[in-house]
């Protein structure tokens, strides 16, 4: 049935991404919760103001002194490969290097590419190689000094010390090497899950950009391992002047995990997301409840077919009882002073939806499914500073009579194909209700104007969004 599949594979994902990080037994709302006394329109205006304020904060990051110096550093790296002629080490893809790719992302930074920096903060998987990360680091240790030559320049290398250090001008047209970028790597030396990881896993990594003796930008990575050599906690942190981006992931014995992302300016939270979940994601339990598939092309039938594969093989998608692996969870998303919080009892709700069929053309039956979602899952929109509730999320049946095609033309279903779907809406203190799409679609004109103006500025300044980008 469409309703069941919709819930199982869409609503759980939606709730986990957009819904606050409380303990398992906490309620999202309690009798002590306070609703804001502002009107719906006044709260909407405050939300728009927060969006504009966040945009202004992001613009401010471009003015940090470290941004100009980092751009100069990346420019010098682009003119000459500093690692090209060192020993047996041929070269390195600077954009894929775990530390230097952060610099590359920041050099392209603008308010619409914050996600690129967060992606750069995420560890990439270790690929099998005849040489290890420790080997590469040992080969590259030394001091690299930028020397102008003609219209460009080159890096001069001296093998010395136990760290990688670059010396270069703090501006693109500078003549004095008054800036430095220093990389330190400490390898993990405990037990390994697989021999391929030996000397390939870090316990600590740091990279600091300094102008003179003052550090203006720093990248820090810390990993914690259990007695079997399995990473149980990973923390990455990027500091750019007064701005800070942090990513943390922690796994407790395959029964609980926490993930958090944050982007702050001083004490001001610009963006923050936290996710926590309980369950059992051991190999055996995943195999019992989840099936993995890969799409392969059959040359005889000239058709794409679905083939069941092992969870460790390359796969395209998975199906099964997700709620038996992740049994309950909670997550929060905050942008400036606006915070969305919620939680879900995935096991109870998943079992109910899986064991009941719903006639999608019956409003009453779809309403029953929505009622169960509201019983086992909760969503609130709040002001972070006062914790006052702006609105509560509510699942409800929405009649689907058609759709807009790719030309934005309304296409109505045949009468027998119309159906009820489960959608989400906000319920406000005065009892009024409005679906999420409509709420965010209107009333934010000033914010939209600010975003459009900022994008235009980026196009003119950086070429962002142009055909050449």
Residue at 240 is within a domain: no
Are 337 and 360 members of one domain? yes
pTM of the model: 0.73
Element at 276 (helix H, strand E):
strand 268-279
Asked whether 393 and 379 are in contact (CB, 8 A), the reply is yes
Q: Is the predicted pLDDT of residue 367 greater than 90, yes or no?
A: yes
Residue at 128 is within a domain: yes
DSSP-assigned letters across all residues of 165-230: EEEE-SSTT--S--EEEEEEEEE--S--SSGGGTTT-EEEEEEEEEETTEEEEEEEEEEEE-TTS-
pLDDT category, 100, cuts 50, 70, 90? Answer: low
Of residues 241 and 135, the one with the higher pLDDT is: 241
Q: Write down the mean pLDDT value for the chain.
A: 78
Are 137 and 1 members of one domain? no
Are 386 and 397 members of one domain? yes
| Total domains, the chain | 2
Q: What is the pLDDT of residues 372-394, one digit of tens each?
A: 999 998 888 999 988 899 999 99
Please state the rounded mean pLDDT for residues 161-179: 92
Distance, CA of 358 to CA of 338 (rounded, Å): 36
Which contacts qualify for 461-469: CB closer than 8 Å, 24 or more apart? 462/108, 462/110, 464/110, 464/112
Number of helices (H) and strands (E) in the chain: give both, helices first: 12, 21
Boundary of a domain, candidates 225, 245, 274: 225
Residue at 244 is within a domain: no
Boundary of a domain, candidates 194, 225, 256: 225
Please state the rounded mean pLDDT for residues 146-157: 87
What pLDDT, on the 0 to 100 scale, is given for residue 455? 61
Please state the rounded mean pLDDT for residues 125-151: 73
Are 30 and 20 members of one domain? yes
Q: Cβ neighbours of residue 356 under 8 Å, at least 6 residues apart?
A: 4, 369
Are 71 and 198 members of one domain? yes
Q: Is the predicted pLDDT of residue 428 greater than 60, yes or no?
A: yes
Q: Is the predicted pLDDT of residue 119 greater than 80, yes or no?
A: no
Distance, CA of 218 to CA of 235 (rounded, Å): 14
Are 192 and 333 members of one domain? no
3-class secondary-structure state, position 55: helix
Boundary of a domain, candidates 181, 201, 225: 225
Q: How far is C-alpha 155 from the chain's CA centre?
A: 35
Q: What is the pLDDT of residues 283-328, one digit of tens each?
A: 888 888 888 899 999 888 899 999 998 887 888 888 888 888 888 8
Residue at 133 is within a domain: yes
What pLDDT, on the 0 to 100 scale, is given for residue 92? 46
Share of the chain above pLDDT 90, in %: 16
Q: How far is C-alpha 131 from the chain's CA centre?
A: 31
Q: Is the predicted pLDDT of residue 4 greater than 80, yes or no?
A: no
Q: Is the predicted pLDDT of residue 95 greater than 50, yes or no?
A: no
Are 141 and 59 members of one domain? no
Quote the domain boundaries for residue 192.
65-225
Residue at 265 is within a domain: no
pLDDT category, 205, cuts 50, 70, 90? Answer: confident
Are 92 and 219 members of one domain? yes
Q: Is the predicted pLDDT of residue 130 greater than 60, yes or no?
A: no
Are 50 and 115 members of one domain? no
Q: Is the predicted pLDDT of residue 124 greater than 50, yes or no?
A: no
Are 85 and 118 members of one domain? yes
Comparing 98-107, 145-154, 440-449, the range with the smallest average pLDDT is 98-107
Q: What is the pLDDT of residues 26-63, one digit of tens each?
A: 444 554 678 888 888 888 888 888 888 877 887 788 78
Q: Is the predicted pLDDT of residue 114 greater than 70, yes or no?
A: no
CA 219, 266, 389, 330: dihedral to nearest 10 degrees? 20
Residue at 307 is within a domain: no
Residue at 251 is within a domain: no
Of residues 432 and 448, the one with the higher pLDDT is: 432
Q: Is the predicted pLDDT of residue 110 greater than 50, yes or no?
A: no
Of residues 211 and 2, the one with the higher pLDDT is: 211
Are 52 and 129 members of one domain? no
SS3 percent helix, strand, coil of the chain, rounded to 5, is 30, 35, 35
Q: Is the predicted pLDDT of residue 196 greater than 80, yes or no?
A: no
Structure tokens at 253: 């014995």
What pLDDT, on the 0 to 100 scale, is given for residue 120? 46
Distance, CA of 112 to CA of 200 (rounded, Å): 33
Residue at 176 is within a domain: yes
Are 125 and 205 members of one domain? yes
Of residues 192 and 20, the one with the higher pLDDT is: 192
């Amino acid at each position: 049935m469409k309703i069941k599949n919709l819930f199982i594979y869409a609503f759980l994902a939606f709730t986990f991404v957009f819904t606050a990080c409380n303990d398992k037994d906490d309620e999202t709302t309690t009798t002590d919760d306070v609703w804001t006394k502002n009107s719906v329109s006044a709260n909407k205006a405050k939300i728009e103001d927060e969006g504009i304020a966040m945009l202004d904060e992001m613009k401010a990051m471009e003015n940090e002194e470290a941004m100009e110096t980092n751009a100069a550093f990346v420019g010098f790296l682009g003119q000459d490969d500093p690692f090209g002629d060192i020993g047996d080490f041929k070269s390195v893809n600077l954009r894929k290097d775990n530390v230097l790719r952060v610099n590359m992302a920041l050099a392209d930074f603008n308010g619409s590419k914050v996600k690129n920096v967060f992606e750069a903060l995420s560890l990439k998987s270790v690929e099998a190689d005849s040489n290890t990360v420790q080997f590469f680091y040992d080969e590259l240790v030394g001091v690299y000094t930028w020397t102008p030559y003609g219209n460009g320049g080159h890096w001069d290398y001296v093998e010395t010390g136990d760290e990688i250090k670059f010396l270069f001008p703090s501006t693109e047209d500078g003549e004095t090497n008054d800036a430095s970028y220093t990389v330190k790597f400490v390898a993990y030396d405990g037990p390994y899950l697989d021999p391929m990881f030996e000397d390939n896993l870090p316990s600590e990594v740091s990279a600091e950009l300094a102008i003179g003796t003052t550090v203006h930008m720093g990248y820090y990575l810390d990993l914690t391992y259990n007695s079997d050599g399995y990473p149980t906690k990973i923390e990455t942190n990027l500091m750019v002047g007064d701005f800070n981006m942090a990513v943390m992931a922690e796994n407790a014995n395959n029964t609980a995990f926490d993930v958090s992302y944050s982007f702050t300016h001083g004490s001001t939270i610009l963006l923050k997301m936290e996710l926590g979940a309980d369950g059992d994601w051991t190999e055996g339990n995943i195999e019992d409840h989840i099936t993995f598939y890969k799409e392969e092309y059959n040359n005889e039938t000239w058709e794409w077919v679905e083939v069941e594969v092992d969870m460790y093989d390359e796969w395209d998608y998975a199906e099964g009882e997700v709620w038996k692996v992740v049994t309950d969870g909670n997550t929060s998303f905050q942008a400036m002073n606006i915070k969305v919080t919620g939680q879900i009892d995935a096991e109870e709700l998943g079992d109910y939806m899986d064991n009941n069929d719903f006639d999608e053309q019956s409003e009453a039956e779809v309403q029953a499914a929505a009622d169960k979602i509201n019983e086992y899952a909760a969503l609130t929109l709040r002001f972070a500073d006062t914790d006052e509730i702006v609105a509560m999320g509510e699942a409800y049946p929405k009649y689907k009579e058609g759709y807009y095609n790719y030309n934005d033309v309304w296409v109505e279903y045949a009468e027998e194909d119309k159906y009820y779907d489960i959608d989400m809406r906000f319920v406000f203190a005065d009892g009024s209700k409005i679906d999420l799409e409509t709420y965010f679609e209107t009333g934010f004109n000033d914010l939209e104007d600010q975003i459009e103006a900022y994008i235009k500025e980026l196009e003119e300044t950086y070429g962002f969004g142009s055909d050449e980008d």
